[in-house]
A and B are shown apart, each in its own frame.
Chain A
Amino acid sequence: MSSEHELEEPSGPHRVVGTPSTAPAALDLTAEEVASHEERDAVALLPADPEDPVRASRYEKVVAALFVLAFVAACGFIAAYIGLEVGSVDATLRSNLALGLSLSLALLGLAAGSLLWVRHLTPNIETVEYRHELRSAPEDRAKFEEFFAKGTAVSQVTKRPLLRRTLLLATAPLALAPLVLLRDLGPLPGTSLRTTVWRKGLRAVTLGGNRPLRPADMATPGSMITMIPEGYQDDQNALAKAGVILIKFAPGELHIPTIFNGDTQLYGMNWTVENIVAYSKICTHVGCPVALYEQTTHHILCPCHQSTFDAANGANVIFGPAARALPQLPLMVDPDGYLAAASDFTQPPGPSFWERG
């Protein structure tokens, strides 16, 4: 392998034999010069020994020590895997620490060793490679075009439009088929985003406790509580639309304007019970639960994007990206004295959608 190598004096510091001098002007090479340099590069010889043999042997020991450290750490990793059980939080933390520490040491030992190796045990050299012009030679392009044109002619594809068109015709529906196959990924939305499971007389129960509430249970003004329709506590799809917040106000604090959209009532004091109002808990922006309530200002805040609603005033938007007030759920007291819905929401709760109107 070494016999065909030719040797030259290095022409500058750290520049390997077989590469041109460092004078920049000399590197503006003609094509023939590039070719001849490539020939020489092909047999260019790397110096086998580091510049400083003493330093190299010193680092050889350091690198070897690091590799031994990595070996020990990797053995430690296997030992920790075998020796340390998991199955409780404390055991997991112990195991994680032992496994992680040994793995880190093994990897970093290998890393540091490899780095010192290349830095101190190999000679610091530079080689030069020459670029070819990326653009093909004109005759190659011409040959390509010629053959492509000939092949096209042989295929008859240009001469027989009937074949060409029927082929395209045949592939068009096949190309559509994968899209068609995606149709059953989900049902069509229909009007399902407009309605929830709330209906007249359906009781509201507490989230988590599933307990119905009497108006008297919310005696203290200022409290906010999340309620869900009774019997739907395990139906996440229902809850994601139907969750409401109940807020109790002191007398005279709640001023909900009566708002109609055509014949449909959207907001009104007549939907409250003893100064308790129910709003949708789903933000009208992108649907996070509006979970934060500030008693003193009556502000409902969505923690996701900080849309802020005025609970005392029909949950109007005060700040943030939500464009619409939180829908109000009409409340009533059922024959047993518990809070229940007087009807479903009269407008779609949750984020806007194209068909909402």
Chain B
Amino acid sequence: MSQDTDTVKIPKALQGVGGWFDDRFHGARGFGVLMRKVFPDHWSFMLGEIALWSFVILLLTGTWLALFFVPSMGDVVYHGSYTKLNGVTMSQAYQSTLNISFDIRGGLLIRQIHHWAADLFMVAIFAHMLRVFFTGAYRKPREVNWLIGVVLITLGMLEGLFGYSLPDDQLSGAGLRILQGVLQGIPIVGTYAAYFLFGGPFPGSSIVPRMYILHVFLIPGLILALVTAHLFFMFHQKHTQMPGLGNTEKNVVGQPFWPYFVLKGQAWFFFIFGALAVLGTFAQINPVWLYGPYTPLAISSASQPDWYMGILEGTLRMMPAWEINFLGHTLSLSVFIPGLLIIGLLFTAMAVWPFFEQWATGDKAEHHINDRPRNAPVRTGIGVAAVCFYGILWAEGANDVFADKFQVPLYTITWISRVAIFVVPIGAYFVTKRICLGLQRKEVGLLTHGVEIGIIRQLPSGEFIEEERPLTDEERAILDSKKAVLALPAPGEPDANGVPSPDSRGVMGWARSVANRAFLETVAVPDGHGNGHGHPDGHEAVEGGERAAVGAGDSGESGESDGHEEH
């Protein structure tokens, strides 16, 4: 590394401008902090950035598209460059989409980039969310940012739905018909909700202009505001970081904003924009001219929404025909449960999870070092179960495509999914948890014995031994990052003052203790093989959820057990 101290001479003019602003805004200190802000380096931290840059590209391309799109359902007879539809009556929305595609230079390209960017935006949000979940990055103090993320996913889905419905083509019209049917299925207020959104009976002539203002103003405005808050909180609370040598709960190790993040962020933005441009050039998406204008009595088979709405489509397909009629009313369970309830519960569970975990583990400490997924077996198990749950619902949304491609009866696929939706997530939870514990056990071996290097040696006594090398400091720091979960007092058990804590009493106390037991299962790192700090109590292992000693403090590094782990 060079020790040269040469810096760049800042031009007088630039200094003058900077000084002018600093005289007025006192910016040198604040922007100085910004310039030095440390960005930890890990590939998974770029997932959220993909979402950010996709959103920027969506704003740029969307603004341009809005200059040409006519959000009206007024009828016109088409005479334009796409001659196959000449003479066809269609809405102005559909006509202007055709014009953007065939009569405005760059229109098709920008339209396709916009659509691809929307799909990538949602992919990136979900990937980022999974990364944050599986590494426990949502833990205190970042719960609010997690909640913002849940809202952003919901808004992103709505924004996408309204966006791809705007062209008023046959495919998107079918999606709107389903939306209307689902709204109508809401108990008590559903019929009114549907009539108010559509301005009367379906399809009416109001839905496109209404979706337009939601799509180009209200929802993007909310997303922009929430993204800003999301980034501000991240900035204010500083990044989490992965476990590693020198990374502690009190520091952030990485590279400074200026110039590193600026250069990397610029490269990443251009890569994402470039990739979307390649897709927009070569990969046709949503060719609305092939679908024709919307009419309520036509449909094509294998009608699928954009990928992020697939879960709703699949849930609707999976649901058995349940409907209850009583006292002159109809409760349309086969619409209401899959259309709104399941996804509502899923997102509610996502929002509640950080608080549930805190409650079940009693862990109120701040966390800035991310967990490795194997070191949080319950969380990882629940996460994989949720991914399986989502994935089965999502795949069922294309059951007709599966039936066609694999020549399996359609109803068989639906029945398989109806069983799998219960069996697979539960199985996935237990299998994942076992795998995590197995990986932990393997790492205890690495910490106590070192790494086998593949050489077997025979001793003069005839005994065979495997040669091992000790872990490097970096490896040891990563393996040693595991924190034990604190055991909570048993229900109704007196605490240090001889009185049961209010948290441990009653049904909630019992439930908390049951949840806590699941979290306690772990393979502890034996003492004396760590990196020289921690594990003060010198225990072998905590296995099977035995109660551990209470009062080890927030460090969470202490536990006690029967020590029946074999070594």
Let me know if A321 and B317 touch, CB within 8 A. Answer: yes
- Within the complex, what minimum Cβ distance (angstroms) separates B272 from chain A? 8
Tell me whether A323 is interfacial, beta carbon within 8 Å: yes
Q: Which residues of B contact A216 (CB under 8 A)?
A: none
Let me know if A110 and B196 touch, CB within 8 A. Answer: no
Let me know if A303 and B400 touch, CB within 8 A. Answer: yes
Let me know if A236 and B334 touch, CB within 8 A. Answer: no
Tell me whether A322 is interfacial, beta carbon within 8 Å: yes
Q: Which residues of A contact B104 (CB under 8 A)?
A: 86
Q: Which residues of A contact B269 (CB under 8 A)?
A: 111
With A182-B196, A351-B181, A352-B184 already in contact, the answer to whether A226 and B323 are too (CB < 8 A) is no
Let me know if A107 and B198 touch, CB within 8 A. Answer: no
Within 8 A of B (CB), among A23-40: 24-25, 27-29, 34
Tell me whether A140 is interfacial, beta carbon within 8 Å: no
Let me know if A288 and B177 touch, CB within 8 A. Answer: yes
Tell me whether A108 is interfacial, beta carbon within 8 Å: yes
- For B, the interface residue count at a CB cutoff of 8 angstroms equals 126
Within 8 A of A (CB), among B156-193: 174, 177-178, 180-182, 184-192
Task: Give bound CA distance, A115 to B420, whole Å.
Answer: 45
Cross-interface CB contact of A240 among B81, B203, B252, cutoff 8 Å: B203
Q: Which residues of B contact A218 (CB under 8 A)?
A: none
Q: Which residues of A contact B494 (CB under 8 A)?
A: none
Let me know if A1 and B184 touch, CB within 8 A. Answer: no
Task: Give bound CA distance, A317 to B321, whole Å.
Answer: 9
Let me know if B263 and A117 touch, CB within 8 A. Answer: yes
Let me know if A352 and B106 touch, CB within 8 A. Answer: no
Q: Which of B37, B185, B296 has the most CB of A within 10 A?
A: B296
Within 8 A of A (CB), among B250-283: 250-256, 259-260, 263-264, 266-271, 273-275, 277-278, 280-282
- Within the complex, what minimum Cβ distance (angstroms) separates B249 from chain A? 8
Task: Give bound CA distance, A131 to B368, whole Å.
Answer: 9
- Within the complex, what minimum Cβ distance (angstroms) separates B525 from chain A? 15
Tell me whether A96 is interfacial, beta carbon within 8 Å: yes
Tell me whether B328 is interfacial, beta carbon within 8 Å: yes
Interface string of A115-138 (1 = CB under 8 A from B): 101100011011111110010000
Tell me whether B348 is interfacial, beta carbon within 8 Å: no
Tell me whether B499 is interfacial, beta carbon within 8 Å: no
With A89-B82, A101-B281, A131-B252 already in contact, the answer to whether A118 and B260 are too (CB < 8 A) is yes
Tell me whether B109 is interfacial, beta carbon within 8 Å: yes
Let me know if B5 and A7 touch, CB within 8 A. Answer: yes
Q: Which residues of A contact B109 (CB under 8 A)?
A: 96, 99-100, 103
Chain A: number of interface residues, binned into ranges: 35 or more
Let me know if A129 and B185 touch, CB within 8 A. Answer: no
Tell me whether A200 is interfacial, beta carbon within 8 Å: no
Task: Give bound CA distance, A132 to B333, whole Å.
Answer: 51
Task: Give bound CA distance, A138 to B71, whole Å.
Answer: 56
Let me know if A125 and B296 touch, CB within 8 A. Answer: no
Q: Which residue of chain B has the shortest Cβ distance to A28 in the bound complex?
A: B248
Task: Give bound CA distance, A97 to B280, whole Å.
Answer: 9
Q: Which residue of chain A has the shortest Cβ distance to B323 in the bound complex?
A: A323
Q: Which residue of chain B has the shortest Cβ distance to A317 in the bound complex?
A: B321
Tell me whether B307 is interfacial, beta carbon within 8 Å: no
Let me know if A237 and B182 touch, CB within 8 A. Answer: no
Let me know if A48 and B185 touch, CB within 8 A. Answer: no
Q: Which residue of chain A has the shortest Cβ distance to B7 in the bound complex?
A: A2
Q: Which of A1, A189, A324 has the most CB of B within 10 A?
A: A189
Let me know if A237 and B201 touch, CB within 8 A. Answer: yes
With A97-B281, A115-B271, A323-B332 already in contact, the answer to whether A237 and B200 are too (CB < 8 A) is yes
Let me know if B201 and A24 touch, CB within 8 A. Answer: no
Tell me whether A192 is interfacial, beta carbon within 8 Å: yes
Let me know if B255 and A125 touch, CB within 8 A. Answer: yes
Let me know if A186 and B330 touch, CB within 8 A. Answer: no
- Within the complex, what minimum Cβ distance (angstroms) separates B100 from chain A? 10
Let me know if B299 and A319 touch, CB within 8 A. Answer: no
Tell me whether A114 is interfacial, beta carbon within 8 Å: yes
- Within the complex, what minimum Cβ distance (angstroms) separates B140 from chain A? 9
Cross-interface CB contact of A321 among B106, B250, B253, B321, cutoff 8 Å: B321
Q: Which residues of A contact B282 (CB under 8 A)?
A: 100
Let me know if B200 and A186 touch, CB within 8 A. Answer: yes
Let me know if B81 and A47 touch, CB within 8 A. Answer: no
Let me know if A108 and B274 touch, CB within 8 A. Answer: yes
Q: Which residues of A contact B79 (CB under 8 A)?
A: none
Q: Which residues of A contact B105 (CB under 8 A)?
A: 81, 84-86, 95, 99
Task: Give bound CA distance, A2 to B410, whole Å.
Answer: 72
Q: Which residues of B contact A99 (CB under 8 A)?
A: 105-106, 109, 281
Interface string of B95-119 (1 = CB under 8 A from A): 0000001111111110000000000
Task: Give bound CA distance, A356 to B184, whole Å.
Answer: 11
Tell me whether A305 is interfacial, beta carbon within 8 Å: yes
With A25-B533, A305-B317, A357-B330 already in contact, the answer to whether A45 and B5 are too (CB < 8 A) is yes
Task: Give bound CA distance, A45 to B36, whole Å.
Answer: 11
Let me know if A7 and B281 touch, CB within 8 A. Answer: no
Within 8 A of B (CB), among A259-316: 281, 285-289, 291-292, 303-307
Tell me whether A207 is interfacial, beta carbon within 8 Å: yes
Let me know if B190 and A353 touch, CB within 8 A. Answer: yes
Q: Which residue of chain B has the shortest Cβ distance to A49 in the bound complex?
A: B2
Tell me whether A87 is interfacial, beta carbon within 8 Å: yes
Interface string of B190-223 (1 = CB under 8 A from A): 1110111111111110100000000000000000
Let me know if B250 and A240 touch, CB within 8 A. Answer: no
Within 8 A of B (CB), among A319-340: 319-324
- Within the complex, what minimum Cβ distance (angstroms) separates A224 from chain B? 13
Q: Which residues of A contact B303 (CB under 8 A)?
A: 303-304
Q: Which residue of chain B has the shortest Cβ distance to A33 in the bound complex?
A: B250
Tell me whether B504 is interfacial, beta carbon within 8 Å: no
Q: Which residues of A contact B331 (CB under 8 A)?
A: 354
What 4 additional pairs, Cβ within 8 angstroms, besides A49-B4, A324-B323, A351-B332? A88-B102, A107-B277, A352-B332, A353-B184
